[in-house]
Amino acid sequence: MTLFEKIAVREIPATIIAEGEDWIAFRDIQPQAPVHFLVVPKRCIPRINEANSADTPLLGTLLSAATATARQEGLDENGYRIVINNGPDGGESVPHLHVHVLGGRHMQWPPG
């Protein structure tokens, strides 16, 4: 099981802020912004590059969950950033697809 699967089944503690049937949202343990949370599918897809057409509904659900949770966290007025890392050069640190949502400050462009 991946770290995120263990969080989803409550084997590892996390600050869970929202949850649906197929996904879970929790605060990042190394936040890069005043508000930084992850939205993770409960079923492991190692990375976005390995998602297939059968995963399309879940991918849409993840983005909908990210925006709904951002709204819940008060980020909708000033904006926020959604990031999905893919592979080592993309900054992926856990081999389980996850959506980063960052907000609460002005984001720079280009990102790191």
H-only helix segments in the chain: 3-8, 56-72
pLDDT computed for residue 76 by the predictor:
95
Report if residue 110 sits inside a domain. Answer: no
Report if residue 112 sits inside a domain. Answer: no
Report if residue 111 sits inside a domain. Answer: no
Confidence check: pLDDT of 111 > 90: no
Phi–psi pair at 97, nearest 5 degrees: -45, 135
Which pLDDT tens digit goes with each residue over 14-51? Answer: 999 999 999 999 999 999 999 999 999 999 999 999 99
Q: Which two tokens stand for residue 33?
A: 């912004």
Put the strands of the sheet holding 23-27 in their side by side order. Answer: 16-19, 23-27, 35-41, 99-103, 80-83
Residue 17 sits in a domain of what CATH number? Answer: 3.30.428.10
How long a stretch of residues is the chain? 112
Q: How far apart are CA 49 and CA 69, in angstroms?
A: 24
Which of the pair, 110 or 21, is modelled with greater confidence?
A: 21
Which pLDDT tens digit goes with each residue over 48-103? Answer: 999 999 999 999 999 999 999 999 999 999 999 999 999 999 999 999 999 999 99
Catalytic residue of the set 36, 96, 98, 100: 98
Residue 98 annotated among the catalytic residues of the structure:
yes
Number of domains in the chain: 1
pLDDT computed for residue 20 by the predictor:
98
Closest CA to 4 of 26, 32, 21, 35: 26
